Amino acid sequence: MNYKIIYENPQSGYIKIKAEFNADSNTTIQFPTWRPGRYEIGDFIKNVHGFKVFSADGKPLKHEKINKDSWQVENSKGVIRVEYSYYAKDLNAGSTYVDQEQLYVNPVNCLAYIPGFEDQACELELGIPDHWEIACGLPFSAKKLKTDSYHDLVDSPFIASNTLQHETYESNGTTFHLWFQGECKPDWKKLKTDFKKFTDLQVKNFGSIPVKGEYAFLFQIVPYKAYHGVEHQYSTVILLGPSYDIMGSFYDELLGVSSHELYHTWNIKNIRPIEMFPYEYSKENFSTLGYVAEGVTTYMGDIYLMQSGVWDLDKYLKELQSNLQRHFDNFGRFNLSVAESSWDTWIDGYVAGVPNRKVSIYNEGAILAFVCDMKIRKNSGNKFNLHDVMTDLYENFGQKGKGYSVEDYQKTVEKYAGENLDSFFKDYFFGTASYETIIEEALDTIGYEFKSETAEKASWSRLGIKTVVENNQTIVKAIYPGSSSEVAGIMIDDEVSAVNGMRVSGDLDNWISYFENDNLQLTIYRKSNQMVFDIPELNRAYFPKFSIIEQKTAAKDSLFMRKWWSTGKRNK
């Protein structure tokens, strides 16, 4: 399958695409309906304009849609040509975007294919200015990219531009590229030093990296707040902003997402659930294993920053503490398990969704990965850890070109933990049992404990609501189940306009604190209707703050375990 993407009239927002297929008669042309790394339907077909099909000699061929993203073509066996334009104005880590400065393409968004031909070799040619550079995980030659399959082609995003900034570093025989597009001032020495540290350790521990001699970090830097990363086999695209904070207060986020996405090179691009091996681009690829694909990656990405010395122990503990806080603040944990929530990413996995319905496969999966790591370390006397599980899966599934199942993951964890974990997986991965006990046990393994205290914000602790200020309006966005506000009748999306008759203007917590010893009455606007609610005093504090603290009398074994865990050392 051969393609050409033409850059012209970028102000229109469209790119022109031409494709040539050696097709069977009466063939079907399909558009991807989702992209790997984002487990939801993308419906990229909505951006397609002027779709036409021609025979090899240029005669128009009759074609009709047979579903929302595929066409049936009336053709004889042989070469057919397809032409269309693709609207490219969304800029994120998984999109396709064009303007006067760049052509940024995720091919999975915009390149049609013939079902059943995904394993055929492909060629992509770019019609771009001669002086532009091309940043990609696979090498272009004379503006052409050749891949072994459609899978490789659509997994190879690229940026073509005259304003790219570029540096490289080496790790274990592989060249790693750092490409930056957009307004930014990279501190190359700092970046290369830190990236090499976590890269060296990840590659060393897995023993090899499944790339073709090169790997590319493609950074899209924007002037507004942004944070998004998408993994690929030979690269990652990371969108970050604002520009002025990238090397400052946002630098830890840059490191965190970069280590996370690099770890995906093994975990999901190679260690992949059997339901996604190979990817099927025309429909949902349901799996309950998001707690491995994203949860383990979230945990291990941060662990490698700590163990490589890029982060210190205190920095990592703050990340873990944030994960625990998000867990306890999410009451969807009582409704859907992390496995069920993984399946449901295809429904609402990337939006808030209805209140208290689901959990995050990233957050809950990371906590369970931490618990499994501690369980394995404790049971084995630190001879084994979670990384041994992932290396085992890499060697026995990823490198052998096959997917793993739920049972495979559990059995591999059991292998290194040295115990049957049927009840553990049933209760915590596939059930909604409280994590509190297993978190306490895991923290105890390394000499820590967690405590709860009253939330800093009065509206959280006394009212049981979380609000945001939008256009100078204080809007309720979360309500603690059974709280004073819920009992009173407050609803999500209500606007809090006054407390005891005093107008609220972005200062709700100040007024709640001011009336600390008084009864509270809230004035609410709900769909333009003014309502007044008396808030009962239930003598409870809501949304408690959770902190990880060091045990005052930590056991000697726990202190050794902490050192081994934080530095990546083993007890041999």
The pTM assigned to this predicted structure is 0.96
Range list of β-strands (E), 14-154: 14-23, 28-30, 48-55, 63-67, 70-73, 78-87, 97-98, 102-105, 122-127, 133-136, 144-147
Q: Which CATH number fits domain 458-535: 2.30.42.10, 3.30.360.10, 1.10.3720.10, 3.40.50.300?
A: 2.30.42.10
What tens digit of pLDDT does each residue of 298-352 get? 999 999 999 999 999 999 999 999 999 999 999 999 999 999 999 999 999 898 8
| CA 300 to each of CA 109, 316, 366, 385, 568: distance values in angstroms, whole numbers, following the listed order | 29, 11, 8, 11, 11
DSSP type of residue 371 = H
pLDDT at 569: 87
Q: Is the peptide bond before 242 cis (omega within 30 degrees of 0)?
A: yes
Name the nearest CA neighbour of 52 among 96, 19, 77, 7. Answer: 19
The end-to-end CA distance of the chain, in Å, is 53
Beta-bridged to residue 231, according to DSSP, are 236
The CATH architecture that domain 2-163 belongs to is Sandwich (2.60)
Torsion from C-alpha of 360, 363, 366, 372, nearest 10 degrees:
-70
So what's the architecture of 266-448+550-572 in CATH?
A: Orthogonal Bundle (1.10)
Contact criterion met (CB below 8 Å) for 138 and 152: yes
Supply 373's token pair: 């790591």
CA atoms within 13 A on the CB side of 481: 11
Domain boundaries, the chain: 2-163, 166-250, 266-448+550-572, 458-535
Residuewise pLDDT in 10s, the chain (572 residues): 999 999 999 999 999 999 999 999 999 999 999 999 999 999 999 999 999 999 999 999 999 999 999 999 999 999 999 999 999 999 999 999 999 999 999 999 999 999 999 999 999 999 999 999 999 999 999 999 999 999 999 999 999 999 999 999 999 999 999 999 999 999 999 999 999 999 999 999 999 999 999 999 999 999 999 999 999 999 999 999 999 999 999 999 999 999 999 999 999 999 999 999 999 999 999 999 999 999 999 999 999 999 999 999 999 999 999 999 999 999 999 999 999 999 999 999 898 899 999 999 999 999 999 999 999 999 999 999 999 999 999 999 999 999 999 999 999 999 999 999 999 999 999 999 999 999 999 999 999 999 999 999 999 999 999 999 999 999 999 999 999 999 999 999 999 999 999 999 999 999 999 999 999 999 999 999 999 999 999 999 999 999 999 999 999 999 999 999 999 988 76
Residue by residue, what is the 3-state secondary structure of 481-542?
Answer: CCCHHHHHCCCCCCEEEEECCEECCCCHHHHHHHCCCCCEEEEEEECCEEEEEEECCCCCCC
Query: Which CA distances in Å does 453 have to 461, 468, 515?
Result: 10, 22, 21
- Tokens read off for 110: 């915009």
CA distances (Å), 225 to each of 231, 253, 254, 352, 362, in order? Answer: 21, 12, 13, 19, 21
Just give the CATH number of 166-250: 3.30.2010
CA distance 102 to 181: 8
Asked if 558 and 444 touch (Cβ cutoff 8 Å), the reply is: yes
The residue assigned the tokens 């290194």 is 416
pLDDT at position 572: 63
User: Can you read off the two tokens belonging to residue 387?
Assistant: 């990384």
Among all chains, which residue has been given the structure tokens 């408690």? 544
Q: Which of 82, 99, 83 is nearest to 91 (CA)?
A: 99
**What is the structure's pLDDT at 297?**
99
